[in-house]
Amino acid sequence: LNLNAFDIISLSSGFDLSGLFEETD
Amino acid sequence: MGCVPSKGRRQCPGYEDPVFLASQTTFSVSEVEALFELFKSISSSVIDDGLINKEEFVLALFKNRKKENLFASRIFDLFDVKHKGVIDFGDFVRALHIFHPNTSLEDKINFSFRLYDLDNTGFIERQEVKQMLLALLGESEMKLADETIEAILDKTFLEADTNQDGKIDLSEWQYFVSKNPSLLRIMTLPYLRDITTAFPSFVFYSEVDEA
């Protein structure tokens, strides 16, 4: 596994704020 | 309750003048006004009080109010700069500003450091990183042996903790991120570049002639 821990953690959906901009209308 | 237009002004707890917020952030006045449309939508989804609570924040992120998530909770806490348990409009705009494509790398790096410094000690410690890895594994239902997790932590701290004192300070983080720029991907939201297109109704409520 060549990824560091932060690469893996940043895959979390909780850190992806895109959801705030979807289905809001 | 909630945020209602009144004599051209919006009545809403924590509402701040879009011109003032634009002067403090990367956003134009029009963009701040468009963000207000988004803010109204999120802040009225559970309790229409003109403030975003954690339940509303999680609901907006995942469309599922019951989902417990360490990462979403951590982001919420950083947005909630006044530690009131709610995000007001000014908090919302200033925090989202960090995620704008045009915001400086330095601001993004500093914010990302605080994101991972779960207990706010000024250091990212090994047990915090392990806690986040375990939370992510739980979220994804992926399984990794404890030895594998420890090996990932060893490798990470060997690279990031340059003075090998067992914790990562801000200057070590800045250096580590400069060598691993993909870590900042989560700090930029392309949506923010087109925010006025995404929320065109702001035009009807605009308080300024020009933006």
Cα gap B157→B166, rounded to integer Å: 7
In angstroms, the separation between the Cα of residue A17 and the nearest Cα of chain B is 6
For residue A18, list chain B residues with Cβ-Cβ distance below 8 A.
189, 191
Taking only the tens place, the pLDDT of each residue in B152-204 is 999 999 999 999 999 999 999 999 999 999 999 999 999 998 888 877 776 66
Residue A25 C-alpha, separation from nearest chain B C-alpha, in angstroms: 8
Query: Which chain B residue's Cα is nearest to A7?
Result: B183
Residue B164 burial class via C-beta count within 10 angstroms: exposed 0-12, middle 13-18, buried 19 and up: exposed
User: How does pLDDT run across B42-97, given as a tens digit for each residue?
Assistant: 999 999 999 999 999 999 998 876 677 899 999 999 999 999 999 999 999 999 99
Q: Which of A5, A6, A20 shows the shortest C-beta gap to B42?
A: A20
Confidence of residue B31 (pLDDT cuts 50, 70, 90): very high
The interface predicted TM-score (ipTM) is 0.86
Query: Which stretches within chain B are classed as H helix?
Result: 18-24, 29-43, 54-62, 70-79, 89-98, 105-116, 126-140, 146-160, 170-179, 195-198, 202-205
* pLDDT (mean) for A21-25: 65
Residue among B113, B132, B140 with most chain A CBs within 10 A, to mutate: B132
Q: Determine the pLDDT at residue B211.
A: 42
